[in-house]
Structure 1
Amino acid sequence: MIVTALKDIVGTERDISGPGWQSRRLLLASDGMGFSMTDTIIRRGATLELEYKHHLEACYCIEGSGEIKSVMGVEWHPLEPFTLYALDQNDRHEVRAIDGDLRLVCVFNPPLTGSEVHGPDGSYSPQV
């Protein structure tokens, strides 16, 4: 059984951040679950262009409000608490926080190893 409190992750090597975002890695590949789970914050006013070429991702909004759209699309989809989006085709996308910080619980497959940050193209490196 794995029991983890967010307060025990904040400020450790599982607390990773970059311009406009912070990702607290609750579960990692080393935990052996076959997926990873993060508590992620996108800072108010930030717009991130991302493309997880090597991962599938699903995110569940639990706080704040924002929007997401495919880079190829024109329609922004609202994000608010209790809304899920899933990038089931490694979609290149933009996500932005509008009203306060946007807080998401995110699941990645294959699982993150822990220290990943977004590369210049918005993706994480493939797992080794």
Structure 2
Amino acid sequence: MIVRDFNKITKEDRDRVVSNEQWTSVRMLLAQDGMGFSFHITFLEAGSEHTFEYKNHFESVYCMEGKGSITDIATGETHEIKPGVMYALDKHDRHILRAEEQLVMACCFNPPVTGTEVHREDGSYAPAEALAD
């Protein structure tokens, strides 16, 4: 059984906290945990806009707090993001995520991230095997 305390991670295990000026991701589960997915709590700063395309990962996101929107770049369709809304990027969808208010999101990635990934210029993470090189 794996039990982790979000508050302890943010204070004591800073290796599991990845951030830049627009977002912070607390990695509760990583590839090394052997669960087949990773689980993160992510904070997106109010007024921020992000273009992502996870070419090597599937992601599912559940909004716990805040208000924003997600736009599917391929279709131009925009959806409201608010508490209770979930979206899943089942086709590695290139998208724009906008935070009108600070968004607090619970995120799952498959395959799991290792914790060392950074967004590449195209908005994706490298595949896990590329990180080992």
Bigger strand fraction: 1
Q: Same fold (TM over 0.5)?
A: yes
Q: Does 1:117 align with 2:118?
A: yes
Q: Does 1:89 align with 2:88?
A: no
* Residues 17-28 of structure 1 mapped to structure 2, 5 A cutoff: 17-28=19-30
Q: TM-score, normalised by structure 2?
A: 0.92
Structure 1 unpaired stretches of 5+: none
Per-residue Cα deviation, 1:29-51 (whole angstroms, up to 9, x for no partner): 00010100000011100000000
* Residues 97-112 of structure 1 mapped to structure 2, 5 A cutoff: 97-98=99-100, 100-112=101-113
Once the two structures are TM-superposed, the CA of residue 75 in structure 1 deviates from its matched residue by: 2.5
RMSD: 1.0
Aligned length: 127
Q: Percent identity?
A: 46
**Structure 2 SS opposite 1:8:** helix
C-alpha distance in 1, partners of 2:118/2:104? Answer: 18
Q: TM-score, normalised by structure 1?
A: 0.95
Structure 2 unpaired stretches of 5+: none
9-18 or 45-54, which deviates more: 9-18
- Runs ≥4 residues deviating over 4 A: none
Q: Does 1:66 align with 2:68?
A: yes
6-15 or 24-33, which deviates more: 6-15
